[in-house]
Structure 1
Amino acid sequence: MKLYYSPGACSLASHITISELGIEADTVKVDLKTHTTESGEDFLAINKKGYVPYLKIDETKNLSEGVAILQYLADLHPEKDLTPEVGTFERYQLQEWLTFISSELHKAIGTFFTPDALSEVGVEQVTKRIKARLQIVETRLTSNEFLLGGTFTIADAYLFTILSWCKMMSIDISEYTNITVYIEKIANRPSVQTAMKEEGLLG
């Protein structure tokens, strides 16, 4: 198994999940500006979509969307409880949060990686939308340690990754005390520390 990633990108969620599960996997760093791997391979020849994460499972199977990769990895080791059992209501709650993070936070915060595409008014509008969505998360964490209650899941790995972009993009989230505690708690998980060190995000 091989995970193609870019440091700090949304692929970090998959990297954290691999670390959390203790899966033996090779990791390949990708420069998303030049679309080349650290060994000089043409990444577009590997993944025509040109973005990460990209999971090469074997010579015939691969996945190229983060939410699908997260669920695939978690289902490899159901005993680790990173995802509820298929067919349960909790599994649909997980998918609800994965969808929310992907469509409402990932896309919105991700627009700040291309600031030239946003006008001053556009920045204000997107920031307002992000803040409204963060309030939903803040409320959820009022009485829940993690998104699905008391258990860390792949949804938390994904949310942590996207929330980490706020600091990079100078989006002030200090008003959200529950989120602040949540980020610190997850950042201190051994699996997260391992993944971030492997990506060069920690000293």
Structure 2
Amino acid sequence: MPNTPIILERNTVARSRLFRAEELQLEFSNGEQRTYEKLCSGGPGAVLMVPMLDDSTVLMVREYAGGLENYHLSLPKGAMDAGETPAQAANRELKEEIGYGAKSIHFLKQVHLSPSYMEHKINILIMRDLYPETLQGDEPEPIEVVPSPFDDLFSLVMQDDVIEGRSIAALYMTRDWLAQKTS
């Protein structure tokens, strides 16, 4: 594995309410120098939940996505608050977004969204043994909860409105984790 490049200089080049962008002047081990830009993370991280109502039903949400300027179907997700563990954040967000808590929470994996130019990471957690409980969230409108069949995962992810890569990856990882757990 090559040596990590030396950061010669780091500058914030843009800042918004949600994002901060940095420019990095790097020197690689072979002497080559390059300028990289990256979006920096703005908090302790985020969580994406795979809420399993039962072994054959996953609860998904239909919500507005600003990047699409339209609605799409995905797994519920949200930001972690300072001091929260991923499991605590996932259970809180689940109650805020879909009106359920989980008695059984399994941390599956932390993934990075686009490591070439983003620091942003998200923790994927499987939520099982769900029970009704609602917390007030910060969504601008009620989120539509869509019970979706988990038995035919390929058909689910091939729906026109299921387009988010994180959700698709989490669904397939959950399917395989559940298969190992029951075998």
Question: Scaled by the length of structure 1, what TM-score is found?
Answer: 0.24
Query: Which entry has the higher C-alpha Rg, 1 or 2?
Result: 2
Query: Which protein is richer in helix relative to its size?
Result: 1
- Structure showing greater relative contact order (alpha-carbon pairs closer than 8 Å, 6 or more residues apart): 1
Higher strand share goes to which structure? 2
Length-normalised TM-score, structure 2 = 0.25
